[in-house]
Chains A and B, each alone.
Chain A
Amino acid sequence: MTEDLGVVKIYRYDPSVNTEPRFEVFEGVPYVGRTVMDVLRDLYGTRDRSLAFRCACRAGLCTVCRMKVNGQAVMACMRMAEKDMVIEPPGTGEVIKDLMTTLDGARSDQGAA
């Protein structure tokens, strides 16, 4: 049985080079049983090493992988991937490149006890 594959559109922007952000489409992407972070790591590893994104704890605690998936704010390591995804930066902080932002003002949910 062949694995079901999805389509991912990712926000790409290097403010030091590009005047405008664009979306890059990746087709034939394995997504079943994977988180959004797993998908990003696969794409980075096998398709495009220039893709920029943050990852740290991989367990939903550090919150550095906040981003928008299909318009919804999520942590990439906690959200199961879908067949069709549009992935954008979280909307907090300045875009350094692609999905990696300064995350200024992002509040860690775990720190606020």
Chain B
Amino acid sequence: MVRIEAIPRLETDVLVVGSEGAGARAAIAADDGGARVIMASKGLFGKSGVTLMAPYSCCVAFGDADPRDNPWEHFKDTIRGGHWLSNQKVAYSYTHNAPRRMLDLERYGAKFNKTDDGKFEQVLMPGHTYPRAIHYHFRTGSQFKKGLTAEVGKRPGITVKEDFLVVDVFVDAGRVTGALALDVRSGEYVVVDCGAVVLATGGAMEMFYPRSDASDDMTGDGHAIALRAGAQLADIEFMQFFPTGMVWPPALNGVIWIGELRYHCGGWLYNKFGERFMVKYDRERMELSTRDITSRAIVTEILEGRGSPHGGVWLSVTHLGRNQIQTFVDETFPGFSFRGYNLLDAGVDIREDAIEIAPMAHFYMGGVRCDAGCATAVPGLFVAGEVTAGVNGANRIEGNALSETQVQGAVAGEAAARHASGAAGGVERDQAQAAVARFRTLTDRSEGVDQLALRHEVQEIMWKNVGVVRTGEGLDKACGRLAGLREQAAEICVQNKEPRANRELLEALETQNLVTLAEAVAVAARARTETRGAHYRRDCTNEDDPRWLVNSVVSFSDGQIDLRHEPVDFCYLTPEGAETPPAGAGVAL
């Protein structure tokens, strides 16, 4: 029954959902555009998401280390690295706007390593033709946070709402009129009346937890909100995995720096029979093979029953002398500590013990479909950062994530301010009441599905059947099970009825988003009967250009997932190599 009571309301021009790399930049741009801005974080501003976790590379074609570099070269590397599925207009906007947007960030207070002559120190990364990664030691993400929090703090036009989970966007007569949020601190649902919304909610790596190296808030909220609002998702079958993260002990789950043992210390990988299994997958390079081949090899061993006790494989350096290992440790992680994690305290002595590792979900290439102006199919709904699809196609080359947040944040924020100036928000009372009543059923019902058990089930299905190694059979199974879980997600009962700071309710709302997205991912992955980029089908191992140079497009139709495929528009660069850049290519706009 709908309760007739006043729902608290806030009013603004632009609501930005997400507060870190892309979100904070969008808020700044919308403020520059003269809009009143509310920036919502479901946690704390400057302390959420994955931006601040990013250790190193931020690619941008300044050409400081090599004058032959320019945004067009960066564009070409991005398209090739994405196995030709990128939206070329979106990718072009990204590489060509990146230089000036990174200078904005420097002006806001972010620091980057410079050479003696004051130029950016630019480093060559895999997949890039020229050295173009700028960085601040191994803490680049922290500089994004530093610059953006300082700049937002100077702007009274931006209201920051923390512990404020946006759960849905209202669309009326085909355009955005506002959003519904859960004020986690009080437990109240709040309507935000606004003319435009920017979703900057990051990725969805939590679908694969504990096989994730991302923060726990990457739950695909923006993806699911966009889908429900009538927007489309694109290329969501493409999730990037980092090959070597720790899986045991629990204290060290997800620590990926341990993988350095493989590269820098000659670490060996073993299955449970003590076989150096890489010989079967890359006889020549063995453990020094590429990330994708290594990930696939490790997961194949695990899935075929040759894994270690906690679902990984063994990584060992014990074939080296104890003093050799000690020297390596002293130079790279003194005191056996990784970012403060002490391996010895956690019961792991790499001088004597092997460690258990497995691939970790790391970055989401697919996401909400948008144009170069960051607009979705729904007027008034914009997207920025990892939640988008377009720049990275089927695979992301290193260093493209951080700079993407700054370009798209600026584009989306500006576009949202412009849109809102001609379209006031205002959610109809009945629509708001109905939405609140729907969300309240989670806490109102006295029995139903446990959200945590449901989440764990989704994560297990995704890791086993929709993870690094996929087969038609496994994907069929996943699609079937996930369709059933969608029904269960509608029956979640939150046991904790206390309104204030209800973690279980917050997680339940996230879990519903994860279920929605997971099913769409499985459906898209099942349809793509080829191997491309991060999508590896063991039953179809060829990259099948004649058939599959198409983007997967997912929408909701009567609550059901609707998947179709559209040819990629090779407007600026063709797989045959023809280059037709738009006017001004090679120069930062």
- A residues near B (Cβ < 8 Å) are 14, 16-17, 32-35, 38, 44-45, 49-64, 75, 78, 80, 96-98, 100, 102-103, 108, 110-113
Are B340 and A60 interface neighbours, CB within 8 A?
yes
| In the bound complex, CA of A52 to CA of B494 (Å) | 14
Instruction: Mark B504-543 against chain A: 1 for CB-CB distance below 8 A, else 0.
Output: 1000000000000000000000000000000000000000
CB interface residues, B 223-274, toward A, < 8 Å = 248-251, 253-255
Cross-chain contact of B496 among A49, A59, A61 (Cβ < 8 A)? A49
Q: Considering only CB atoms, which chain B residue lies closest to A50 in the complex? A: B496
Instruction: Mark B344-355 against chain A: 1 for CB-CB distance below 8 A, else 0.
Output: 011100000000
Name the A residues within 8 Å of B149 (CB-CB).
111
Are B217 and A49 interface neighbours, CB within 8 A?
no
Would you list the 6 A-B pairs with minimal beta carbon distance, nearest first? A33-B249, A97-B501, A52-B501, A110-B142, A49-B496, A49-B504
Q: Whole-angstrom distance from the CB of A23 to the nearest CB of chain B? A: 18
Asked if B471 CB lies within 8 Å of chain A CBs, one says no
Interface residue stretch chosen among B30-38, B43-51, B301-309 = B43-51
- Decide yes or no: A61 and B53 within 8 Å by CB, A33-B250, A111-B149 being known contacts: yes
Name the A residues within 8 Å of B145 (CB-CB).
108, 110-111
Are B345 and A62 interface neighbours, CB within 8 A?
no
Name the A residues within 8 Å of B503 (CB-CB).
44, 49, 51-53
CB interface residues, B 473-520, toward A, < 8 Å = 494-496, 498, 500-504
Q: Considering only CB atoms, which chain A residue lies closest to B49 in the complex? A: A56
Name the B residues within 8 Å of A97 (CB-CB).
498, 500-501
Q: Whole-angstrom distance from the CB of A26 to the nearest CB of chain B? A: 16
Q: List 30 A-B contacts (CB under 8 A).
A: A16-B500, A33-B251, A49-B496, A50-B496, A50-B498, A50-B502, A50-B504, A52-B501, A53-B503, A54-B44, A55-B216, A56-B49, A56-B217, A58-B215, A58-B216, A59-B53, A59-B213, A59-B255, A61-B53, A62-B47, A62-B52, A62-B53, A64-B44, A64-B47, A96-B500, A97-B501, A108-B46, A108-B142, A113-B111, A113-B142
| In the bound complex, CA of A100 to CA of B47 (Å) | 14
Q: Considering only CB atoms, which chain B residue lies closest to A60 in the complex? A: B340
Asked if B341 CB lies within 8 Å of chain A CBs, one says yes
Name the A residues within 8 Å of B52 (CB-CB).
57, 61-62, 108, 110-111
Q: Considering only CB atoms, which chain B residue lies closest to A51 in the complex? A: B503
Q: Considering only CB atoms, which chain B residue lies closest to A99 in the complex? A: B501
Are B46 and A111 interface neighbours, CB within 8 A?
yes
Asked if B143 CB lies within 8 Å of chain A CBs, one says yes
Name the A residues within 8 Å of B500 (CB-CB).
14, 16-17, 52, 96-97
Q: Considering only CB atoms, which chain A residue lies closest to B55 in the complex? A: A61
Asked if B136 CB lies within 8 Å of chain A CBs, one says yes
| In the bound complex, CA of A108 to CA of B255 (Å) | 20
Name the B residues within 8 Å of A16 (CB-CB).
500
Q: Whole-angstrom distance from the CB of B411 to the nearest CB of chain A? A: 26
Name the B residues within 8 Å of A98 (CB-CB).
501
Are A56 and B341 interface neighbours, CB within 8 A?
no
Q: Whole-angstrom distance from the CB of A75 to the nearest CB of chain B? A: 8
Are A80 and B47 interface neighbours, CB within 8 A?
no
Cross-chain contact of A58 among B111, B254, B340, B347 (Cβ < 8 A)? B254
Name the B residues within 8 Å of A80 (CB-CB).
251, 342, 345-346
Cross-chain contact of B501 among A62, A78, A100, A103 (Cβ < 8 A)? A100
Asked if B161 CB lies within 8 Å of chain A CBs, one says no
Are A113 and B146 interface neighbours, CB within 8 A?
yes
